[in-house]
Amino acid sequence: MTEVLIETCGWIAALLILASYILVSTGQLSGQSRTYQWMNIVAAAGFVVNSGWHGAIPSTALNVVWMAVGLFTLWRIARGTVQPG
């Protein structure tokens, strides 16, 4: 059961990253939008769970940084430093 949950986290993460990329690429979302940032934060968290479980440390580390970038951008949006799209 745990393995199924871990794999589900990975697949949901992959779909979220793909969806966010498609939405930005087609102009339906801005890279500075809260929605885009949250999609990437949640996706990165899913990848952290999945890749951490499988011992893929480089992928885990990358996605921790990916989450930090998203959270930092949300903080800048909240401060008014970045205008949401």
Domain borders along the chain are: 2-79
Helix 2-25 and helix 34-53, axial crossing angle in degrees, nearest 10: 150
- Span 37-41, mean pLDDT? 98
Q: Check if the beta carbon of residue 73 is closer than 8 Å to that of residue 82.
A: yes
42-58 average pLDDT score:
97
Q: State the chain's mean pLDDT as an integer.
A: 95
Confidence at residue 84, expressed as pLDDT on a 0 to 100 scale: 59
51: pLDDT strictly greater than 70 = yes
Average pLDDT value for residue range 64-73: 97
Average pLDDT value for residue range 37-62: 97
Q: What pLDDT, on a 0 to 100 scale, did the predictor assign at position 82? A: 75
